[in-house]
Structure 1
């Protein structure tokens, strides 16, 4: 297993970054009138996930790190909700939302594992 020397080495951060990029790509086709609404909120939630993982990693205490990981989890749930709203109101089709939801769930599992690991070490 590779040594973790930076938050950039964390698989959860890497996957969260990939998810954020995917969200930006997916929301490019959303209606222009949503640019300051659901599009902006969705993008903000998506970028908050890797940002909080990175910020928490840089903190001095394990408890603070875990708190930032929990904030990232909250942002992930917010992202999923925005995606489901976009699907329900017809902004994005289920075929576009499904893969994004799967990626989000994968990041969520990794976040839970990391939080658990930090709790037991």
Structure 2
């Protein structure tokens, strides 16, 4: 499994990504029905892409491929943050709940960046 023999289920960054996705689904249940194929769908897709890309990267055969998928996860995280900001502007959902999600997203971002740095370091050390 990539450069790490652990299952993605063991990774705290994947676990938090799954928790975030679940919370996004719960939040978007309160969005207006007319947003089902708009903001609701976009938020859910972007949120679920975070742990999905972590899992896919972990399952790849090389560290470079793992890093490639982690970059997709970071991009999806940025999309979720943008859609949550839009939700606040449109007054969709509970603003306190959205702020809590933003804090979790920031933590997920730190964890993803840390994993990327660790993998880059391993990759650079193996090329010596």
TM-score (normalised: structure 2): 0.89
Contact 1:7 1:54 in 2 (8 A): yes
Equivalent residue, structure 1, for 2:59: 58
Q: CA deviation at 1:93?
A: 3.8
Displaced runs of 4 or more, over 4 A: none
Is 2:122 aligned against 1:94?
A: no
Gapped regions of structure 2 (runs ≥ 5): 123-128
Equivalent residue, structure 2, for 1:79: 80
Gapped regions of structure 1 (runs ≥ 5): none
Q: 1:16-70, CA deviations, whole angstroms, 9 ceiling, x for partnerless residues?
A: 0000000001111111110000000000000000000000011111011001001
Equivalent residue, structure 1, for 2:26: 25
Q: CA deviation at 1:91?
A: 1.4
Equivalent residue, structure 1, for 2:10: 9
User: Residues 4, 62 of structure 1: CA spacing in aligned structure 2 closer, same or farther, 3 A cutoff?
Assistant: closer
Equivalent residue, structure 2, for 1:38: 39
Equivalent residue, structure 2, for 1:119: 120
Q: CA deviation at 1:96?
A: 2.2
| Larger of the two Rg values belongs to structure | 2
Query: What SS does the corresponding residue of 1:97 show, helix, strand or coil?
Result: helix
TM-score (normalised: structure 1): 0.94
Contact 1:53 1:69 in 2 (8 A): yes
Distance in 2 (CA, whole Å) between partners of 1:59 and 1:4 is 11
Equivalent residue, structure 2, for 1:108: 109
